[in-house]
Structure 1
Amino acid sequence: MSRIAVVGGHGQVAQHLLVALRRSEHTPVALVRREAYREELESRGAEVRLLDIESQDAAAFAAAFAGCDAVVFAAGGGPDGNQERKRTVDLEGSLKSVEGARQAGISRFVQVSAIGVDDPLPEDTEDVWRAYVEAKRDADAAVRDSGLDWTIIRPGRLTDDPATGLVALGPDVERGEVTRADVAAVLAAVLDEPGTIGKQWDLVNGDTPVADAVRQGG
């Protein structure tokens, strides 16, 4: 059993991940900014620690990661039109998580990104969407250059449908939808598979059971 720090622990994917980690006999440590989330997340089997992604520095991240064996960055600035939060959460939150992991002596790092963020954007792309894509793109580049034992998972369009347990996973997968529960299952699985280190994979629902897709290397 190991302790897994989940940055953005109250997010929609993260809440599925807390349960998936418990099923895998890990202890999830949900990092959230509000005390009000504690009871809900503890009911999902998580240990809860407070961390404000936007206002606190990398040293605070390191302190929040104390005693953990891996970090999953699952935070996002949300679907609203707040362009600035795409930078402060999706990019800077990831950068501080990487540095916090280093300071805490944690090498294993898994990041939730988004499919297609390296693709060129059309000139008429809406500003908030551009900010989101660029934040995810730059965060992924920083993780790849971090020297940590990283894995980047890039889901397609997220849905709240029930888990299927079946995915398509690989370095260049055709765009499509994927349930948040299936994303969480993949995140939990890659943490237990050393062969996923140094891999950046797109993820959509498909025909391959999660465990097989992860074990086969996408």
Structure 2
Amino acid sequence: MPTHDVDAVLVAGATGGTGREVLRRAGPRVDTVRALTRSPGATADLRAAGADEVAVDDLLDPSDLAAAVEGVDAVISAVGSTTSAVRSGPPFVDGAGNRALLDAAVDAGVDAFVMESAIGVGPEPASPLASAFGAFIGPLQEAKADAEAAIREAPIRHTILRPGVLTNGRRTGLVTTAEPGAKLWGTVSRADVAWLMTAAPTTEGAADRTFEVVSTPRFPERGVDVNWTLPR
């Protein structure tokens, strides 16, 4: 697949803030945008948000993920648990859910897998903010780390984004993307993260890489130079 050529994508976690922003970004540039939700009642809302198709399945108890990923060039996973999920315990969609989706994507021959993770996931040196994430939502961070490891080992092109504290609001375009261990800290809008996730499958410099992502503060001296390119 040429790096600019994505005809169909599956957006998992489409009812969440980042997922909805991905629908918004991908809709005008990708022929078919399929949203994945576990709630049949969300279908009309997701279509109104920009999805051309809606697949209904539960990543923690899947029935037919093969149908959800059939015919797509890229899977963009913005799934994630709320902090309250820590009390109920595993399995978490951050880990087991992402792995189930990854397995289905690999079996279907999907070209690219993009995952929204979080700052502080993984063994690299972390900022105090990232360390705080681990202290407060350690089980979720561990689940994300497990999914990250599975993605890196899988025979599929991948991009993993580890954003700081997510905020609502417009895309700024003023984002630092850095290698793991850059010790970034701060905030970033879901719109900025969604833009990067949409561009990842068609950005040559994003292939098989993991990035920390923040916008405030920017830390330009710690960033890496990637020519992010949206599908066209």
TM class by smaller structure: 0.7 to 0.9
CA RMSD of aligned residues (A): 2.5
Kindly indicate whether residue 123 of structure 2 is the aligned counterpart of residue 115 of structure 1: no
| One-letter amino acid of the counterpart of residue 202, structure 1 | E
Gaps of 5+ in 2: 1-5, 126-130
| One-letter amino acid of the counterpart of residue 186, structure 2 | G
Q: Structure 2 residue aligned with 1:51, among 52, 57, 61?
A: 57
Mapped partners of 1:202, 1:36: distance in 2: 34
After superposition, residues 70-85 of structure 1 pair within 5 angstroms as 70-84=74-88
Q: Structure 1 residue aligned with 2:9, among 4, 9, 34?
A: 4
C-alpha displacement at 1:191, in angstroms? 2.0
Mapped partners of 1:85, 1:12: distance in 2: 23
Does structure 2 retain, via aligned residues, the 8 Å contact 1:157–1:176?
yes
After superposition, residues 95-134 of structure 1 pair within 5 angstroms as 95-119=99-123, 125-126=135-136, 129-134=137-142
C-alpha displacement at 1:117, in angstroms? 1.1
Q: Map Cα deviations across residues 105-157 of structure 1 (whole Å, 9 max, x no partner).
A: 113111110012124868x934xx11011111111111111121111011111
> Identity over the aligned pairs, expressed in percent?
32
C-alpha displacement at 1:85, in angstroms? 5.7
Quick one: higher RCO (CA 8 Å, sep 6+), 1 or 2? 2
After superposition, residues 26-45 of structure 1 pair within 5 angstroms as 26-45=31-50
Give aligned pairs, total. Answer: 209
Most deviating of 12-21 and 77-86: 77-86
| One-letter amino acid of the counterpart of residue 17, structure 1 | V
Other structure's SS at 1:17 match: helix
Change (3 A) 1:81 1:104: closer
Mapped partners of 1:162, 1:54: distance in 2: 32
Mapped partners of 1:132, 1:107: distance in 2: 27
Kindly indicate whether residue 204 of structure 2 is the aligned counterpart of residue 199 of structure 1: no
Does structure 1 retain, via aligned residues, the 8 Å contact 2:106–2:154?
no
Q: Map Cα deviations across residues 1-40 of structure 1 (whole Å, 9 max, x no partner).
A: 5111111111110000001001333432100011111111
What residue is the counterpart of 1:215 in the other structure? Answer: 227
Mapped partners of 2:164, 2:138: distance in 1: 17
Name the TM-score, length of structure 1 as normaliser. Answer: 0.86
Mapped partners of 2:146, 2:88: distance in 1: 15
Mapped partners of 1:39, 1:82: distance in 2: 30
Mapped partners of 2:29, 2:121: distance in 1: 30
Other structure's SS at 1:98 match: helix
Kindly indicate whether residue 98 of structure 2 is the aligned counterpart of residue 94 of structure 1: yes
C-alpha displacement at 1:83, in angstroms? 4.1
Other structure's SS at 1:63 match: helix
What residue is the counterpart of 1:153 in the other structure? Answer: 161
Q: Structure 1 residue aligned with 2:66, among 62, 69, 76?
A: 62
Does structure 2 retain, via aligned residues, the 8 Å contact 1:111–1:153?
yes
Gaps of 5+ in 1: none
Other structure's SS at 2:184 match: coil
After superposition, residues 158-197 of structure 1 pair within 5 angstroms as 158-171=166-179, 172=182, 174-197=184-207
C-alpha displacement at 1:97, in angstroms? 1.0
